[in-house]
Chains A and B, each alone.
Chain A
C-alpha cells in the first residue's frame, strides 16, 4: 500500500479534523460586556472543558478568538494585531449584537459597527448579552462548521487581505503598526 494514496490521506485528514474540532484553545479578548459571561462558561456551572474548550493566555497558542462585545476603534487595532499573531487554522466568534450590527452603540462616534468588515467572523452569537448556554451552542456550531470544512475565515482573510486592510485603515486613523511577521 502506498503511503500517500487517496484513502490514507483521507484518514489522516479525518483524524486532523476530529482533533481540530474537539480541541479548541480559546483566547478571550474581553471587550465590552461579554467578558463577564466567559467565567461561568468555563467554570463548574457550564463546564466548557467537556468539549475540549480551554482558555489560553496568548494568541500564539490559541485557535479561537472571542470578541465579546463592542469594539472601540482603539481596541480594534489591538484585536487585529492579536488576530494576526494566531496560527492557522484560526477561528473568530463574535458575541452579541454589538459585533453584528453595532447593537446599542450603532450611532456611537468611536466604535465599529459591523465586525465582519474588519476581520472574518466564523460564528456570531446573538443576544445582548448571550448567556453561557448560547455561548456553548455557538461553540457547537463552530465544531459543526469545522467538521464540514466551512470554518475557513482565516483563508478568506489571507485571500482578501487588501480589502480588509483598506477597511481597517479607513477607521484606524493613526495606523502605525510595528513590523512583525505572522
Chain B
C-alpha cells in the first residue's frame, strides 16, 4: 500500500509538472502577444502543439544518437524533478530528495542539454552544430554565478540539503530573498540564462540559426523535447522557490510563488533584444559573478 502510494506520488508529480509547465508557457505566449498589441493563442496552445507533434505519422531520424537525444533530455528533466521536493512538508510530492541533493542537482541539471547536444550532433545539420556550440558556451557562462549563489546559501545554512534550507526559512522575514539578497540576484540572473529566453536565446535564434539544435528534429522527437521543456521549466521554478522563497506547503502557494518568479525572465525577455554569445558570456562572468562573490563574502562576514 505504501509503495503504491509512493509510486502514484511520482506520477502525480510528473503530471503536475507537465501541466503547470505548459500552462505557464501558454501564459508567456499570451503576455507576449498582449505586449505586442495582439490577442494571442489560447492558454492551452502548447498542449495542442505537443499532442499534434506526438500524433505525427512519420518521424525521421539519422541514426541512433538522434533517437537518444530527446530521450536523454526527457530523462534528465524527470530525474531533476524527482530529486526536488515539490512541497516543504507532508508525505506527498517529496520524491527522492536526500541529504546533499543540492550538489546532485548541480550535476544533473546540465545532463539534458548535453544529451540534446549529442543528438543534435548526429543530425549533421550545420545550424545544429552552431547552436550546440553556442548553447554549451552559454552554460559555461551562467553556471558560475549559479554555483556561487548556491554556495552562498550552502555556507549560510551549513547544509547541502534542500529540505533543511527550506526548513530554515520558516517565516517571510527568513526567506533567502531577504536574508541573502545578493545570492538571489546572482541566482536569478543565472536563471535568465537557463530559461533561454531573450536576451539569452542565441543558441536557438530561429531567424538566424533555423532554431539551432532542434532544427533537424520533427514529429515525435520535437514533441518529446517540448514535453521535456515543460517538465524542466517546472523543476527549475520549484528549485528556485525552494531555495529563495521558502518553499511552499501546498500546490496553490507553489503556483503563486512560481508564477511570480517566472514573470521575471518573461518580462525581461519581452522587452530586450538578443545578446551575442560572447556578449552573453562576458555579461555572466562580469556582473552576476561579482555579485555572487560579494554574496559569499557577505555570508562569511555575517556568520
Contact = CB atoms under 8 A, between A and B. Distances in A.
Interface of A: 15-16, 18-20, 22-23, 25, 43-44, 47, 49-50, 52, 55-61, 63, 85-89, 181-182
B70 interface: no
B52 A63 contact: yes
Nearest to B205: A57
Nearest to A59: B218
A52 B29 CA distance: 11
A57 B56 contact: no
B57 interface: yes
A52 B33 contact: no
Contacts, number: 89
A27 B33 CA distance: 20
**4 cross-chain pairs, A with B, having the tightest CB-CB distances, nearest first:** A60-B218, A19-B51, A57-B210, A47-B38
B221 to A, nearest CB: 9
Contacts of A86: 218
B211 A56 contact: yes
Contacts of B8: none
A88 B219 CA distance: 8
B50 to A, nearest CB: 8
B123 to A, nearest CB: 9
Given A20-B55, A86-B218, A181 B60 contact: yes
A22 B57 CA distance: 17
Interface stretch (B41-49, B164-172, B236-244, B284-292): B41-49
Interface string B26-68: 0001000100111111100100110110011111100000000
Contact of B36 (A25, A43, A61, A63): A43
B214 interface: yes
Interface string B121-159: 000000100000000000000000000000000000000
Contacts of B59: 87
B217 interface: yes
Given A43-B36, A87-B60, A88-B57, A61 B52 contact: no
